[in-house]
Amino acid sequence: MNLQESILKLIRKASTDLSPDVEDAIKKAYETEDEGTPAKNVFGTIMEDIELARKKSTPICQDTGALIFYIDFPVGDSEQKYREAIENAASRATELQYLRPNAVDPVTNKNSGNNIGKNAPYIHFHQWDKDEVRIRLMLKGGGSENVGTQYKLPDSGLKASRDLKGVKKVVIDAVTKAQGLGCAPGIIGVGIGGDRVTSYALSKEQFFRKLNQRHENPEIAKLEEELHTDLNKLGIGPMGFGGKTTVLGTHIDYQHRHPATFYVAISYMCWAYRRKEMIIKNGEVTYD
């Protein structure tokens, strides 16, 4: 098993091959929109794009996003090994045009040209007790990243208190303000609690769940269902043209907080919901 080549394949699959649950959701959204409407036409174009990208193994979107990796590995394994393989694979993927150069130095404003830079790609390492390695990759576009936001409850302007009703109000406010920016229909990830950093991290990790896979906590699952329904009643629709589908999925998780804080982080993923997973066990690689 060649780790670099395996990760290169993971990048290619994420960039060019939309996962079945996302494609199915887009097809269902197309079927629900009225004939002759801008929303129907947008979904039709999106479906053509998905098919062509898969057939030609070319990026689904011109913004191939920032590379965000989550790696779960056994105790004693080397982080550096995975970091080097990821950097080499990302550089090669850029050469092969599976990725656009998306790593810019904020001091010099120079693009590295190969998606490699200080803390780029972004890699989250976690040790676990399993005898296998799980590498999850998310390609996060800049437009969708720009409409992510964070609230601090209570919020007097929204009359949002420190409870799940308050959480619901700020999520609806965030999607309303997005108004189709970030390439709607979006997928919403919500992280409740923690500090400012961990609430955002938790919200993004929700994007690895299958679409509308409900939380095991019944109260959170109920909130996910309510928000999914209410957000699609906003009428923003695909690309903000109006329509019945503003979001494809809504996923929420929570963590304990400090008594003096109540953060709600909301991350937004565009319809080009690019995430893939690979498992390494006994030298064999399998892809989701």
Contact 272, 18 (CB under 8 A): yes
Using the predicted structure, report yes or no on whether residue 158 has a pLDDT greater than 90. yes
Q: What is the pLDDT of residue 98?
A: 97
Contact 174, 266 (CB under 8 A): yes
Q: Give the three-state DSSP class for 139.
A: strand
CA separation for the pair 49, 17 (Å, rounded): 11
CA separation for the pair 268, 185 (Å, rounded): 10
At residue 80 the predicted structure's pLDDT band, cuts being 50, 70 and 90, is very high
Other beta carbons less than 10 A from residue 195's beta carbon: 13
At residue 1 the predicted structure's pLDDT band, cuts being 50, 70 and 90, is confident
Section 94-104 average pLDDT: 97
Section 22-31 average pLDDT: 97
Contact 228, 247 (CB under 8 A): yes
At residue 288 the predicted structure's pLDDT band, cuts being 50, 70 and 90, is confident
Q: Which of 137, 251, 253 is nearest to 198 (CA)?
A: 253
Tabulate helix, strand, coil % of the chain (nearest 5).
40, 25, 35
pLDDT digits (tens, 9 = 90+) for 111-132: 999 999 999 999 999 999 999 9
Section 3-21 average pLDDT: 97
Q: Which residues pair with 124 in a beta bridge?
A: 70
Task: Indicate the residue type of 191.
Answer: G
Q: Report the chain's mean pLDDT, rounded to a whole number.
A: 96
pTM of this structure: 0.94
